[in-house]
Amino acid sequence: MKIAIVFDSQTGNTAQVAQAIKDACEGHDIVAFGPPPQNVDQAELIFAGSWTDKGFCTAEMKEFLHSLYGKRVALFGTAGFGISELYFASLSDRFKAGVPKGNQVVSSFFCTGKMPQTIRDRYEEQLKVDPDNARLKSMIQAFDLALIHPDQNDLNQAADFAREAMKA
């Protein structure tokens, strides 16, 4: 199968997931691997991934998705606040909404991805001013939980997702 893996990654988490997907596609023809935009004319299946930027995929990924027609697409992403499957499901819906009609979204996969320390520092600063802010405390908790992700289990799940998408 001719496969494209197009991904937007700023700090490396989504790139790690993309690499796990690529490894799982061994034996297939990888016609594109890198950030959007990519020429995917030949691709029979496109894995399209992005880090989560304010609740959505990146503008570059949105633009790339918008350019697709008649393609089978498997969406993936990483998110810093990945503490619930419900959140991942809502992200999946939002990413999916960026794929125009005339394409088929075969599946999606999300996992947690660590965030830059500057984000935690900012929360800590805000907490100094507002020490009882429960929302800030839970954001710091989410930050700390994300620190080890993506881990090997996430990457194994990404590989399973890739294998399933190729069968779909």
Given the rule CB under 6 A, which residues bind ligand FMN? 9-15, 51-55, 78-81, 113-116
Q: Between residues 37 and 100, which has the closer beta carbon with respect to ligand FMN?
A: 37
Q: Between residues 13 and 72, which has the closer beta carbon with respect to ligand FMN?
A: 13
CB 60, min distance to ligand FMN, A: 12
CB 77, min distance to ligand FMN, A: 8
| CA 77 – CA 112 distance, rounded (Å) | 9
Q: Please give the residue whose beta carbon sits closest to ligand FMN in the complex.
A: 113
DSSP state of 82: -
| CA 61 – CA 35 distance, rounded (Å) | 8
CB 121, min distance to ligand FMN, A: 13
Q: Between residues 14 and 38, which has the closer beta carbon with respect to ligand FMN?
A: 14
Q: Between residues 32 and 72, which has the closer beta carbon with respect to ligand FMN?
A: 32
Q: What proportions of the chain, in percent to the nearest 5, are helix, strand and coil?
A: 45, 25, 30
The answer to whether the beta carbons of residues 57 and 65 sit under 8 Å apart is yes
Q: Give the burial class of 41: count Cβ atoms within 10 A of its Cβ; 0-12 exposed, 13-18 middle, 19 or more buried.
A: exposed
CB 79, min distance to ligand FMN, A: 3
Q: Between residues 13 and 92, which has the closer beta carbon with respect to ligand FMN?
A: 13
Question: Could you identify the residue written with the tokens 């197009």?
Answer: 6
CB 13, min distance to ligand FMN, A: 3
Checking phi first, is residue 55 left (phi over 0); if not, alpha (psi -120 to 50) or beta? Answer: left
